[in-house]
Chains A and B, each alone.
Chain A
């Protein structure tokens, strides 16, 4: 058992040390460090600046229900509809149907079916947290209340890494880990695949591909794309040489497991055939062997579900967050886990350093970033080795006011997601903000250094056009000249923000002779030298 011992250090607000954001509202996203046109930095291919205006996409939920109502005659008898609901969604669907058509059924039947439905939801989400951990019981109660009132779709929205998922035109984005190719999940339940080197843009649609919460390309493979859907996992095999723009649904493997819905997170093992998937309603973490379509459920008591997964880049550990104030870190050699009952709130997001030795995570309701350091060998189970005993606070992003030429602006707040670039030099923090209080959602970028000691330095903010806010971000793993952050904005645009730097640890050989790249010139030079956090080496 590991407990928090929050370091008793008065953490000064990290954002106060940041250079204030520029006030201009340009066409492209702005980045204070080096204000360059993002489209330039793709190798020798056209830029992937994509734009999905919301009007062009049919709203997801409407479409679903409207198509259903178009085809299913509402004059059908209750019996027929119930049979259909039973076939589509099992017992809960049947109960839902009965509860919804209260006009046609006797009152006692409607009431009792709604009661049973609520009970079912409660049981299905809690069947293994009968003995919740003492410290976690309060927030488990909170989660109970949450589960009872949330439908599957709302649950996906609640636990997704995308800010305001249900309203977002772009619901998921995934760069291919090895080649310049990306997949975009849109709110009309389709997925488009963009490859700058190819003229075709395959569109993936499947009957079961509803409310996509996450997607990820399989490492060490050209074609496989895992998609977390409403009540199953889809693994698409998109032949990169095919000229087809609409791969048939036969190209998709459907992986489903009873009780495992909605799927909110997926993660591929970086060097193997395994895929893990999580659902807030299922207490088990599923480990899939995708080729043979079999899965091993890993049940543990407590937590009440799994919401977010992140596999460390070296493949040795998996972070599994639960809807309650508890998260687990699994080691992947023997699949044992250690529990981290956290202080308050659930673990919202997390990211691993490239060597897998450090985990940064954020907690819902808090404005700080915690760090865990793992020093052991990857082969040794966590229980037996000296894993970390306490998490340390490395950054505090609480609200602060920055002076800009246009006046003071408020920044900071709760953290939605974290992203660490594959070289470990930049850390992007997606701050939720609060539109009502005049704090926009924005992305704060830190410079990081992993060896010899872990350091965080302020870098800058990433801003979009006026009136837009970032919804989703991911670093491009194939960018040669530094780091490139892909941001999906609330207006449906996807832009790429380059961070050009000479890597201190391993200078890129190809970069030496090309002076045309504007290297990082920290505009406000004095800001860059103030270290926010340095690990004490004792």
Chain B
């Protein structure tokens, strides 16, 4: 098939090489990081010369080189997982249950397991590097009562370090799901890779240090209560005995050993830092601008040109990079714009402009339809319940069908049932169907039969439904007046909204096994349970809006440039369509932002590597849309009166012309 062929060349020629380059750089950066770790871990204030000479001799020893090779292997593995798991459209769990489903997905399980093991490997390297009492798992000891000679005892310091590594590796994987660490976002500002890395490095160091601290706290708590279990297990399997002359480490006094804490923390920081640097480099490399040729003189390269690439759907990163390139060329590159406005040589058709504008417009009208469908669902107050079942079945099948047909990109979204909720699948499906012009089924209709449905919607529709099961206090919270008043425009903190609505039924939270074994219980549970993530449905609607933002920027800049650069007047023919599409979208976006919870800003989590820019994409889209319309009206001015359009749109446009929007 054509699209698979196309995806092959791009992934093979560009994405893989970018990933390889990022891994190579992370391996190179491992050298200074390791040296720094050695220096810091063996730090002694009172013997500086001894300290330096010890570090130097350690760094040049053969065993250090062996552990360095191990670390390189770990970094390469992390890089490979980055490449395999990254996504440009975040999977947004619309409810906490869906999040749980993501965490328990087999794919995620593999990720966690491998990271856990890699954490142990890194921790072993750390223990080896620090040396001293951490060096090996067993040490010779003489028990009091037996005088039969030395036997091997368990070195609990070593064990604690290894377990901490495993814990941090697992929590890295877990936090990665919750904060969408595999999401790769694109930046508004273009910067060179080195400068971007340099700018982000202090943040990464800070994030890893802070994250290591949090992990350490949780780990110590866990070890304090559960530490005996792994210790006994290790002793049993490795036939080690416990040295009774030394206190075991799961007591308050021995866990508060400052030197132990410092070494645990610095090892955790080192582990997270190397991994975060790998993630950061991968993000920087993979989002680098790729300049596609606008047209090609050779027909065999035609599939690599912008008009062809932009209409493709797979891989997703290709579409994103193509639209980014379109937005940039429309702003910065007059010569490439000229190619867009050119006519085909035999025939004189504006094929390039037609292809580009058609794709952008179909993207934008897809978004409009999606917003209208969402709004209708919310407005019908759950009456869509009965009729939505059928449509939802359809959407399920169609999105699962797309899963099988598409490649690695879709595998980023962990579960098929979560896939229904992610707009990525909507996007895929709608752009697959763009040629066929199939009517878009509403993807966000709540499906009460599914345990992983999006109850955030039902939360929105909730207040007007008769909810007998709810406590009166909760339904008063749900009253629309309160909901409207709650999220103020631009209010900074949403914590109160996130945590403010208490769970109405004080039933016990289901354990994971319950969630999987008893779906019937879960359905009833979910129908009553309403403490969902309120903004999530809105976030999910706009999860892939980066492409819409670029489409808006590209279209509006091209139209504005056509005022002086378009020699053949080809843009004029599409101007009415463009304007009406923009105004329709503007209307839909305005209506969407009148819904509760949509205009409240999420709080920034500053000290984490997770990229939360998807949470604010809707604001970026709204602002870009307005700017795009203004850009066209400011350029064309009164000439727009000559454009054919409906009276309603003319009125709206007049507002823009008078700067009253």
**What residues of chain A have their CB less than 8 Å away from a CB belonging to chain B?**
176, 178-179, 181, 220-223, 237, 240-241, 250-254, 271-274, 287, 289-294, 296-299, 333-336, 377-379
Contacts and interface: CB of A to CB of B under 8 A. Distances in A.
Contact of B619 (A251, A292, A377): A292
B26 to A, nearest CB: 22
A333 B195 CA distance: 14
Interface centre among B189, B492, B622, B626 (most CB of A within 10 A): B189
A292 B617 CA distance: 7
5 contacts: A240-B661, A287-B189, A291-B623, A293-B601, A334-B190
B518 interface: no
Contacts of B660: 222, 240-241
A333 B332 contact: yes
B491 A254 contact: no
A336 B333 CA distance: 18
A177 to B, nearest CB: 9
Given A220-B634, A335-B191, A273 B620 contact: yes
Interface centre among A220, A290, A336 (most CB of B within 10 A): A220
A378 B187 CA distance: 20
Interface of B: 187-192, 195, 199, 331-334, 488-492, 557, 601, 604, 613, 616-617, 619-620, 622-624, 626-627, 630-631, 634, 658-661
A221 B631 contact: no
A328 to B, nearest CB: 14
B69 to A, nearest CB: 35
Q: Which 10 A-B pairs have the closest CB atoms?
A: A291-B623, A292-B616, A220-B630, A222-B659, A179-B659, A379-B332, A291-B620, A291-B619, A250-B488, A220-B627
B490 A250 contact: yes
Contacts of B626: 221
A293 B190 contact: no
Nearest to B606: A258
Given A273-B620, A296-B191, A334-B190, 10 more contacts: A220-B627, A220-B634, A223-B661, A240-B661, A271-B331, A272-B331, A273-B627, A274-B189, A291-B620, A335-B189
Given A273-B188, A291-B616, A293-B616, A178 B195 contact: no
Contacts of B489: 237, 250-251
A364 to B, nearest CB: 30
B660 to A, nearest CB: 5
A290 B617 CA distance: 12
A379 B337 CA distance: 13
Contact of B190 (A176, A291, A292, A335): A335
B202 to A, nearest CB: 9
Contacts of B192: 334, 336
A273 B624 contact: yes
Contacts of B334: 377
A272 B627 CA distance: 8
Contact of B188 (A222, A274, A336): A274
Nearest to B601: A293
A252 B491 CA distance: 9
A467 B199 CA distance: 51
Nearest to B619: A291
A237 B189 CA distance: 23
A378 B188 contact: no
A296 B620 contact: no
A28 B310 CA distance: 60
A335 B195 contact: yes
Nearest to B629: A220
A253 B490 contact: yes
A127 to B, nearest CB: 12
Interface centre among A241, A287, A379 (most CB of B within 10 A): A379
Given A250-B488, A292-B613, A333 B190 contact: yes
Contacts of A251: 489-490
A251 to B, nearest CB: 7
Contacts of A298: 199
B408 to A, nearest CB: 28
Given A273-B623, A291-B624, A220 B631 contact: yes
Contacts of A293: 601, 604, 616
